[in-house]
């Protein structure tokens, strides 16, 4: 599938901001964030430069997995508000130039969902086949996703004497996509929310959605599971010509390419680049750019209509599963040496600033990378002010703490007593008295002001989202130098991963003889010589964004 109208590809140069409604802003002082609170903070997001708000699950839920255990795909959890509140958020966001996407969690339901309650009532119930059942668990089954919580992917249902599959928690039974009725239900769910005004979905755990390994009846298997993913993309296109499917696919590169649909680009619109993210942390730990360079160069070419989503931190653990055991231990030693900072043997439950000991040079280096690597940047709420984590919280909840709007016991998140908050506010050096929106918005030297500046320059330079990427050879292993070229426009970006300053000779080639290199972030400039060579000095953990302006031309946005 080829898209020729580039105006439909808004996500190629978007700034995506992920938030959990229940931890963002509490407007009715009950200790839980709500849509009314979010509506009153949309101007803040517009000011930051956000163009797409990604909502974590807001559906009715028993809340045993922070909302990812859903009992009604068509509802709004009453703790967060009602449909009118959600529609108002979508409307205001559109008025402010922002789109809204939401989590699409369709590989499982809650065990309290009416479908599953009916399915487990008897083996002959019409909803029985909505889930995956066996008389006994298969041998050689894969390891549980959460090995500290589950010992198997199968759970015995005592009433019917059969086991149901649950790749995640036992209270989240897997849906059976080989059942055409389930596939119809998923399409209805997508159509419902698109009709309500969403611009697409972040699709949870995509590989598990397409996994049919637990199904016994081979005649029921889909001829091509990826054909089902293509059908979802096609459905999205029919219902919303410019909608997006942003997929969570933490797999090796060759398998990631399959989920894009290869050169056709007819499956997922976007994918998170887990491999580059993990290697970025390895490069930070080593103060050597080589690991990140190799990861970026390993990206499959795919379709020009596909896009990578870059991120520093997300709402789950910081997974390092694609690194070798030795590499993972390097990152653990550098950024999470304590056992309580690690989880599942594969990841960290920390936010970036504490991992980097609050060093503003390294923190700014990382966010400069986020906005200048080829692809679309995704921020997790609170990153723009440098929020920390709560290591007293369990597992992933360490980074899902209330947004810190101002100083005070609840960080301006709620007027309720701190004891009424579902998640405790961060304490210590990253408590609201030290890290909050109110103070940073007034401080031109704050992290908030810096990230807002990055957003502005990123949005003024379409090369970052659209450009052809290439790594430039440099002598220093601590430096990542890359260029992005689009429509005869070019930017060159350099990042120094080491604490020591470095001078970088750049050879842009004779075609760039005498060109001006204009620094987008500072306004300074230098000029290449008659051979297209220039020298760039970088401080320790320094970086620069250079617009290449041919001799005799002027800087244009």
Which residues are the active-site residues? 204, 248
Q: List phi, psi (to 5°) of 348.
A: -120, 145
Question: Residue 270 region, left (φ>0) first, then alpha (ψ -120 to 50), else beta?
Answer: beta
- The answer to whether the beta carbons of residues 451 and 366 sit under 8 Å apart is no
Instruction: Calculate the alpha carbon distances from 36 to 40, 92, 166, 176, 354 in Å.
Output: 6, 11, 35, 36, 31
Give the C-alpha separation, 519 to 287, whole Å.
24
Radius of gyration for the alpha carbons in the chain, expressed in angstroms and rounded: 24
Q: Is 235 exposed, middle or buried (0-12, 13-18, 19+ CB in 10 A)?
A: middle
CA–centroid distance for 116 within its chain: 30
Using an 8 Å Cβ cutoff, are 164 and 157 in contact?
yes
Beta bridge partners of 546: 492, 519
The helix (run of H) or strand (run of E) holding residue 538 is strand 533-538
Structure tokens at 219: 């005649």
Helices (H), 171-316: 180-196, 206-209, 225-239, 253-260, 274-286, 290-297
DSSP per-residue codes, 421-453:
-SSPPP-GGGSTTTS-HHHHHT-TTSHHHHHHH
Instruction: Kindly state the tokens that stand for 356.
Output: 């980097």
Q: CA–CA separation, 62 vs 109, rounded Å?
A: 11
| Token pair belonging to 346 | 């594969």
Under 8 Å between Cβ of 132 and 215: yes
Rounded to 10 deg, the angle between the 290-297 and 274-286 helix axes is 160
CA distance 11 to 193: 18
Among the listed residues 248, 268, 246, the one whose alpha carbon sits nearest the alpha carbon of residue 257:
268
Q: Retrieve residue 488's tokens.
A: 């005869």
């Amino acid at each position: 599938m080829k898209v020729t109208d580039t105006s439909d590809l808004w996500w190629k140069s978007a700034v995506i901001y992920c938030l959990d409604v229940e931890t963002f802003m509490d407007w009715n002082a009950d200790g839980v964030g709500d849509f009314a609170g979010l509506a009153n903070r949309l101007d803040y997001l517009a000011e930051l430069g956000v163009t797409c708000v990604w909502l974590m699950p807001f559906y009715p839920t028993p809340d045993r997995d922070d909302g990812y255990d859903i009992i009604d795909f068509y509802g709004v959890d009453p703790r967060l508000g009602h449909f009118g509140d959600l529609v108002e958020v979508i409307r205001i966001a559109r008025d402010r130039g922002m789109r809204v996407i939401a989590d699409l969690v369709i590989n499982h339901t809650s065990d309290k969902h009416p479908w599953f309650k009916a399915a487990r009532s008897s083996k002959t119930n019409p909803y029985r086949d909505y889930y995956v059942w066996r008389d006994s668990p298969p041998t050689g089954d894969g390891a549980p996703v959460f090995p500290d919580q589950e010992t198997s992917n199968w759970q015995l249902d005592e009433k019917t004497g059969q086991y149901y599959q649950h790749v995640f928690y036992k209270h989240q039974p897997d849906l059976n996509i080989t059942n055409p009725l389930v596939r119809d239900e998923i399409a209805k769910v997508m159509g419902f929310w698109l009709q309500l005004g969403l611009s697409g979905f972040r699709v949870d755990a995509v590989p598990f959605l397409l996994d049919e390994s637990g199904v016994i009846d081979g005649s029921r298997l889909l001829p091509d599971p990826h054909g089902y993913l293509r059908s979802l993309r096609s459905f999205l296109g029919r219902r919303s010509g410019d909608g997006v499917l942003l997929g969570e696919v933490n797999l090796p590169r060759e398998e990631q390419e399959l989920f894009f649909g290869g050169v056709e680009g007819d499956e997922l619109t976007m994918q998170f680049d887990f491999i580059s993210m993990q290697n970025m942390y390895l490069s930070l730990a080593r103060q050597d750019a080589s690991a990140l360079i190799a990861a970026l160069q390993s990206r499959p070419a795919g379709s020009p209509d596909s896009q990578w989503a870059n991120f520093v931190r997300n709402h789950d653990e910081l997974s390092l599963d694609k690194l070798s055991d030795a590499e993972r231990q390097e990152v653990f030693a550098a950024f999470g040496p304590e056992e309580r900072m690690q989880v599942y043997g594969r990841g960290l439950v920390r936010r970036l600033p504490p991992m980097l000991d609050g060093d503003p040079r390294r923190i700014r280096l990382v966010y400069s990378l986020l906005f200048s690597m080829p692809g679309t940047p995704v921020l997790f709420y609170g990153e723009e002010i440098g929020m920390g984590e709560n290591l007293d919280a369990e597992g992933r909840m360490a980074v899902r703490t209330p947004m810190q709007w101002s100083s005070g016991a609840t960080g301006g998140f709620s007027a309720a007593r701190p004891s009424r908050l579902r998640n405790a506010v961060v304490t210590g050096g990253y408590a609201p008295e030290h890290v909050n929106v109110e103070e940073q918005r007034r401080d031109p030297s704050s992290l908030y002001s810096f990230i807002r500046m990055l957003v502005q320059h990123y949005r003024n330079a379409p090369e970052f989202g659209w450009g052809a990427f290439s790594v430039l050879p440099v002598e220093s292993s601590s430096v990542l130098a890359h260029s992005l070229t689009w429509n005869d426009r070019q930017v060159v970006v350099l990042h120094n991963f080491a604490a020591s300053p470095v001078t970088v000779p750049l050879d842009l080639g004779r075609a760039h003889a005498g060109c001006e290199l204009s620094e987008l972030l500072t306004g300074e400039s230098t000029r290449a010589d008659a051979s297209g060579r220039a020298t760039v000095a970088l401080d320790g953990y320094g970086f620069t964004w250079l617009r290449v302006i041919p001799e005799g031309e002027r800087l244009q946005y």
